Amino acid sequence: MRDEYAGLADVYDRMTRIPGIRVFYREWRQALLAAARERGVRPRVLVDLACGTGNSTVPWSRRRGWLVVGVDRSAAMLKQARRKSTTVRWYRQDVIDLSIKEQADLVTCHFDALNHILRDRDLHRVFANVAGLLREGGLFQFDLNTGHMLRWLNGRDKLFRAGRDCFTAQNEFDVKSGVATFHQWWFLRRGRLYERRHIAVRERAYSDAVVRTMLRISGMRLLNVTVQRRVDGKPARKLYLATKAATRRHDDQSRRGRPDHASRADR
């Protein structure tokens, strides 16, 4: 399994120190805590999928009584994450083929990680895996870049400074496939010279209707969608909140007030 982030792991946190990026972490935490309070969820276990270097994971581990789990497929990114916390349980796994024993009250997946899932059937598998992790009534929070964002980025190249280093972002969008390719060229200061690195990742957008349907088929229900950022007046990044639906038997008993031994005819 090729590690797409191997060349990025040791410089990733320099990029995430950019103020415009740091603010996302705070917004996600505040939104999830507010949702948990509103829905009466008392978190004991949180699982952060595609956790990268742990920036979205580690802050949760400071909450008393919480067990926090971080999952990522990149060994290089997890190496950085492990340096930040020995309290978090770190797992190297692909979210498409997830197999961990913990049952969670909260599951998160951030920084458009799910946009990297390019096939419908694989995204459905991810949602099914999340449904398997969540306890009934648990919450799943994730964000996605929109199709408008992927198209808007096409051909827009930018130069960023990250301390002594810098990197350029070059973006391509394939209209036929709907897949965007993001290139980063890093220039890392090494004395009087610079080391050049290239990282490329691909993303695909999913409509709200597709997300809602996949969640439902997986045993979850979409609660709300919030526009986090707009570009040219149109949604560029959205934040989603879903919950694990109650089992049918539990639903029937709640609606009808009948005991578990009700006859099949009554059901």
CATH code, domain carrying 240: 3.40.50.150
Based on the fold, state whether residues 89 and 214 are members of the same structural domain.
yes
Based on the fold, state whether residues 181 and 194 are members of the same structural domain.
yes
Based on the fold, state whether residues 177 and 215 are members of the same structural domain.
no
* pTM reported for the whole predicted model: 0.90
Distance CA 70, CA 65 (A): 16
Least confident segment among 110-124, 154-168, 193-207, 217-231:
154-168
Q: What pLDDT is attached to residue 15? A: 86
Based on the fold, state whether residues 114 and 23 are members of the same structural domain.
yes
Q: Is 264 a member of any domain?
A: no
CATH number of the domain bearing residue 164: 2.20.25.110
For the segment 228-254, the average pLDDT, to the nearest whole number, is 83
Q: Is the pLDDT score of 133 beyond 90? A: yes
Q: Is 116 a member of any domain?
A: yes
Residue 113 pLDDT grade (very low, low, confident, very high; cuts 50, 70, 90): very high
Distance CA 175, CA 158 (A): 21
Q: Is 3 a member of any domain?
A: no
Q: Is 92 a member of any domain?
A: yes
Based on the fold, state whether residues 67 and 109 are members of the same structural domain.
yes
For the segment 197-222, the average pLDDT, to the nearest whole number, is 97
Based on the fold, state whether residues 187 and 90 are members of the same structural domain.
no
Q: Is the pLDDT score of 261 beyond 80? A: no
Distance CA 24, CA 165 (A): 23
Q: Is 130 a member of any domain?
A: yes
pLDDT in tens, 71-100: 999 999 999 999 999 999 999 999 999 999
Based on the fold, state whether residues 134 and 92 are members of the same structural domain.
yes
| Pick from 92, 99, 108, 12: nearest CA to 60 | 108
Distance CA 226, CA 28 (A): 11
Residue 164 pLDDT grade (very low, low, confident, very high; cuts 50, 70, 90): confident
CB 106 within 8 A of CB 46: yes
Q: Is 267 a member of any domain?
A: no
Q: Is the pLDDT score of 257 beyond 70? A: no
The number of folded domains in the chain is 2
Tokens matching residue 206 = 């999913």
CB 143 within 8 A of CB 228: yes
Q: What pLDDT is attached to residue 206? A: 98
| Pick from 147, 129, 116: nearest CA to 234 | 147
How many residues appear in the chain? 267
CA-to-CA dists, residue 132 to 52, 70, 119, angstroms:
22, 16, 20
Q: Is the pLDDT score of 150 beyond 70? A: yes
Chain centre to alpha carbon of residue 123: 12
Based on the fold, state whether residues 197 and 138 are members of the same structural domain.
no
Based on the fold, state whether residues 49 and 112 are members of the same structural domain.
yes
Based on the fold, state whether residues 62 and 176 are members of the same structural domain.
no
- Computed over every residue of the chain, the mean pLDDT equals 91
For the segment 13-35, the average pLDDT, to the nearest whole number, is 93
Give the residue with greater pLDDT, 241 vs 1.
241
Q: What pLDDT is attached to residue 253? A: 47
Tokens matching residue 178 = 């709907």
pLDDT in tens, 226-237: 999 999 999 999
Domain that holds residue 159: 150-201
Distance CA 129, CA 113 (A): 15
Q: Is 262 a member of any domain?
A: no
Crossing angle between the packed helical segments 120-133 and 208-217, to the nearest 10 degrees: 50
Q: What angle do CA 75, 68, 64 make, to 5 degrees?
A: 145
Based on the fold, state whether residues 109 and 67 are members of the same structural domain.
yes
Based on the fold, state whether residues 226 and 106 are members of the same structural domain.
yes
79-82: long-range pairs with CB below 8 Å, 24+: 79/9, 80/9, 80/10, 80/12, 80/13, 80/53, 80/54, 81/51, 81/52, 81/53, 81/54, 81/57, 82/54
For the segment 33-44, the average pLDDT, to the nearest whole number, is 97
Distance CA 27, CA 226 (A): 11
For the segment 114-121, the average pLDDT, to the nearest whole number, is 98
For the segment 214-221, the average pLDDT, to the nearest whole number, is 98
